[in-house]
């Protein structure tokens, strides 16, 4: 299997960098530091960045067709216009250690986001529709994580990190319904605790999975066969997305949280944002809204 190495783009030292998302109209990259409660934005040249602080952790976010954002947070789903936040829907149980985690907009403009409980494996997957309808799709999960859809819009992929598994579902574009859950990929349970985290699907239908504790992103064929490994000088690889003018840049976020000082000494760029030029292209970024 071919292996390439990603380059450091921003040495941000994020505690828990996550959720990279390319804005095709603004030609810039956004991502979050969940634990530090920052939302980052790069410049168009990918040379610098700015960040905005929030009073709640942001697990994921999306762009809206009206020009704003939806945020998946410790307070549920919030709307953000760049200045102020407004509560939309909080489906989370009343526990201090639970928040929304990874999320993404589907091809029909619906925002999906799952939850995480940092003290126990108890999570759900939610969906907020443009018409305001609110849905709980999956229950009894461990850690709801990366998700995306196939280019033919017939399959949804979803990660439960506590099960070391990426699942695939039949997906129905018109209704947003999912069914026929089956394992797509399961990583072996080892002492290294390498688990699948965030993911994205490219224009060829191949899945790119970030491996927490694995120092890598792996590209898998639609049949689950590993095709390419992207190596990183950071142990805790969290998520990835395609972007750039030709959608052929893969941006990768990483984390420092939970690592010992000895481990951090060996990986000084942990928590940075990395990039690699690929031989494929990503799908279009979906915006929330009908």
Q: Which residues does the annotation place in the binding site?
A: 18, 99, 101, 119, 145, 197
The secondary structure element, H or E, covering residue 263 is helix 261-266
Q: How far is CA 184 from the centre of its chain?
A: 18
Write down the mean pLDDT value for the chain.
Answer: 97
Binned at pLDDT 50, 70 and 90, residue 248 comes out as very high
Q: How far is CA 35 from the centre of its chain?
A: 15
Query: Is there a contact between 273 and 252 (Cβ–Cβ < 8 Å)?
Result: yes
Segments making up each domain of the chain, as ranges: 2-277
Which pLDDT does position 245 carry in this prediction?
96
Beta strands (DSSP E) in 74-110 are: 76-80, 85-89, 98-105
Q: Which fold has domain 2-277?
A: Neuraminidase (2.120.10)
Reading across the β-sheet that carries 111-117, which strands appear in turn?
Answer: 98-105, 111-117, 123-128, 134-141
The SS3 call for residue 131 is coil
The SS3 call for residue 174 is coil
Which pLDDT does position 96 carry in this prediction?
84
pLDDT for residue 95 is more than 90: no
* 102 labelled catalytic: no
Model pLDDT for residues 155-207, shown as the tens digit of each residue: 999 999 999 999 999 999 999 999 999 999 999 999 999 999 999 999 999 99
Q: Which residues does the annotation place in the binding site for a divalent metal cation?
A: 18, 145, 197
Binned at pLDDT 50, 70 and 90, residue 56 comes out as very high
Stretch 1-7: mean pLDDT: 94
What are the tokens at 27? 């030609």
Query: Is there a contact between 101 and 145 (Cβ–Cβ < 8 Å)?
Result: yes
Stretch 250-257: mean pLDDT: 98
Which pLDDT does position 204 carry in this prediction?
98
Which pLDDT does position 202 carry in this prediction?
98
Which pLDDT does position 120 carry in this prediction?
87
Stretch 258-273: mean pLDDT: 97
Please tell me which residue in 148, 160, 197, 202 is annotated as part of the active site.
Answer: 197
Q: How far is CA 124 from the centre of its chain?
A: 16
Distance CA 65, CA 223 (A): 34
């Amino acid at each position: 299997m071919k292996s390439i190495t990603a380059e450091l783009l921003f040495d941000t030292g994020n505690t828990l960098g996550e959720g990279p998302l390319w804005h095709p109209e603004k030609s810039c990259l956004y991502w979050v530091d969940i634990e530090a409660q920052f939302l980052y934005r790069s410049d168009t040249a990918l040379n610098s960045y700015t960040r905005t602080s929030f009073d709640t952790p942001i697990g994921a976010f999306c762009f809206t067709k009206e020009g704003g954002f939806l945020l998946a947070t410790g307070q549920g789903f919030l709307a953000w216009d760049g200045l102020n936040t407004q509560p939309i829907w909080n489906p989370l149980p009343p526990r201090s250690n639970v928040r929304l985690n990874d999320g993404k907009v589907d091809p029909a403009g619906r925002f999906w986001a799952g939850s995480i409980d940092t003290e126990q494996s108890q999570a759900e997957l939610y969906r907020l529709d443009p018409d305001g309808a609110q849905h709980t799709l999956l229950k009894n999960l461990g850690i709801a994580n990366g998700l995306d859809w196939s280019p033919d819009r017939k399959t949804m992929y979803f990660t439960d990190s506590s099960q070391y598994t990426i699942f695939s579902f039949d997906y129905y574009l018109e209704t947003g319904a999912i069914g026929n859950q089956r394992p797509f990929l399961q990583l072996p349970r080892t002492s290294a605790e390498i688990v699948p985290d965030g993911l994205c699907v490219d224009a060829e239908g191949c899945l790119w999975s970030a491996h927490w504790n694995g120092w890598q992103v792996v590209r898998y064929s639609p049949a689950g066969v590993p095709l390419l490994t992207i190596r990183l000088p950071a142990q805790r690889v969290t998520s990835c997305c395609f972007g750039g003018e030709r959608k052929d840049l893969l941006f990768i976020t990483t984390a420092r949280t939970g690592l010992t000082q000895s481990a951090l000494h060996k990986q000084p760029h942990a928590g940075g944002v990395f990039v690699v030029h690929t031989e494929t292209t990503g799908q279009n970024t979906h915006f929330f809204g009908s």
